[in-house]
A and B are shown apart, each in its own frame.
Chain A
Amino acid sequence: MIPAVATELTRLAARVPERIWLALIVLVFGLLAAYVVGAINRRLLTRAGVPDVIEGTAFERTAREFDTSTVRILAKLSSYFIVAVTLIVVLTVADVRYLEQFWANLGAFLPRLFVAVLVLIVGVVVGDKTELLVAERLRGVKLPELGVLPPLVKYSVVYVAALIALGQVGVQTLALVVLLAAYAFAVVVFAALATKDLVASAAAGVFLLLRQPYEIGDEVRVAGERGIVQEVDMFVTRIEADGEEHVVPNHSVFRDGIVLIRE
């Protein structure tokens, strides 16, 4: 009885083509690899301190609401990617004829989709984080007008991430790139206009700090103000005379020259 069943099974096994066996082995290995890579990724990200860094970002909070976390999502994503690749390999090895064209296209498309999703997630998280950082930096200044700045920074980062992601999956992004260029140009022009004096002051400040034409305690006349130097830093020079403290920007010190008063 038992030898009969055994021979039946051997014949059945022999009838199954080798390709299928190979495909099954590949499938098992693929699933195993997916699980291992997912676990390792999660450990690596946790070890790298990612959860602490992105703590409090909107994306992380949303992920928490769905009882997961950004790190877990990222780890899962790599697992799914490997599973999908394995499936394609398995189907190819098993030589399933139908829908060949579809699978071939998908095989090429999948890695790009994976990168696109990854870039999008990283972009959103980084955007959230920069928004938090900027908001924290500005918290000391309680002006409602400054409230627009953090979201602006965030959406700029997300916009760039979305552009990269769309580019990855092959959507025409030329118009969006042009928009980005115009936006970046405007930002650069405004920043240059706004910080012109600051940059000039800093450049002059470096010279003043390195060469020290005047020191704390010297009596000088700078930009029409005469007094004793109290402090020289990167951007300004503080000059005090008769209870009045003049804060003179360094670029005007440099432009108008310095008079050192002896006696």
Chain B
Amino acid sequence: MASLTEYLSDLVADADAVLLFSPTRSMYDRVADGDTEIVVVAPDNDLAAEPFVELPLPFDNVTDRIRFGIEGAMDADLVDEGDEVVCLTNVFGDGSDAVVRVGVDETVHTGIYDLFVNSRAEPSVIRDVFEVAIELGQKGQKGKPVGALFVVGDAGKVMNKSRPLSYNPFEKSHVHVGDPIVNVMLKEFSRLDGAFVISDSGKIVSAYRYLEPGAEGVDIPKGLGARHMSGAAITRDTNATAIVLSESDGLVRAFKSGKLVLEIDPEEY
């Protein structure tokens, strides 16, 4: 046991900051005695801790949770690139049961914090749309790979910068993303051409939309097709977030302000 304790103390040695994910009061008090910086990352600031990073979603995926916490801390200038951060979080059930040491560098910075916190739409809506896109990427439509384009938030402006390709199947309906039935519907409709438009609160405003943004000044990687280009361009003209599933390489990408902010492989998710 002695060597294990030694190993653990090596793991946490010289950390620049400690990230506590949803700590209990007693745990916070115990850790806060030290002289390293403590950052609490939790859905609510029940402990009135300072500094504090708000977690908009529980993030079942631990890697995403840690990335989110680190990016939130970077956003608040609590940690910088090159720092070593120790995270105490829970993997199974309740209570902290894992210690993770992460070096803060470019690879950690995926833009996930920015995407959730600084988007116009609600974080849960963005997460729901992501989940639909990822599931679509994993399974495809009847086994065949499909592409899809979701434009989330600022729906009024997006609707004015687009035109219908055909009748809107969601007209006069009040359906919101995140509903299991609606997710099935979205998958079925993904064979339609054009974009899905989703409002700030998650209402599906329209499908079959042909986006008409000005494409100048859009900076996206070469090799991406028309779907990505129009998705990126609409986010430059409006405050929306575009979540695009690529038909050719199967990746899910998110665009904001005309820039690529996040790229995930559905197979790894």
Contact = CB atoms under 8 A, between A and B. Distances in A.
Nearest to A212: B172
B200 A230 contact: yes
A166 to B, nearest CB: 40
Contact of A240 (B44, B156, B174, B203): B156
Interface residues on B, range: 10 to 19
B199 interface: yes
A139 B156 CA distance: 33
Contacts of A229: 156
B84 interface: no
Most buried by B among A219, A229, A230, A233: A230
B194 to A, nearest CB: 15
A82 interface: no
Interface in B188-228: 199-201, 203, 205
A231 B156 CA distance: 8
Contact of B174 (A140, A209, A228, A230): A209
Contacts of B199: 216, 230-231
A238 to B, nearest CB: 8
Interface residues on A, range: 10 to 19
Contact of A228 (B156, B172, B200): B156
Nearest to A241: B156
A217 interface: yes
B156 A230 contact: yes
Most buried by A among B44, B160, B199: B199
Contacts of B205: 215-217
B139 interface: no
Contacts, number: 37
Interface string B148-159: 000000111111
A215 B205 CA distance: 9
A229 B200 CA distance: 12
B56 to A, nearest CB: 14
Contacts of B158: 217
B157 A240 contact: yes
Nearest to A219: B160
Contacts of A219: 160
A215 B201 CA distance: 14
A250 B228 CA distance: 38
Given A230-B199, A231-B199, A231-B200, A217 B159 contact: yes
A228 B201 contact: no
Contact of B155 (A139, A212, A230, A233): A230
Nearest to B159: A217
Nearest to B205: A216
Contacts of A139: 44
Interface in B34-88: 44
Contact of A230 (B44, B154, B172): B154
Nearest to B157: A228
B156 A216 contact: yes
B160 A217 contact: yes
Nearest to B171: A215
Interface in A193-215: 209, 212, 215
Contacts of A231: 155-156, 199-201, 203
A252 to B, nearest CB: 19
Given A228-B160, A240-B157, 12 more contacts: A215-B205, A216-B205, A217-B205, A228-B156, A228-B157, A230-B155, A230-B156, A230-B157, A230-B199, A231-B156, A231-B199, A231-B201
Interface of B: 44, 154-160, 172, 174, 199-201, 203, 205
What are the nearest 7 A-B pairs in CB distance? A217-B159, A228-B156, A230-B156, A216-B205, A216-B155, A217-B156, A231-B199
14 contacts: A139-B44, A215-B205, A216-B155, A216-B159, A216-B203, A216-B205, A217-B158, A217-B205, A228-B156, A228-B157, A229-B156, A230-B155, A231-B199, A233-B201
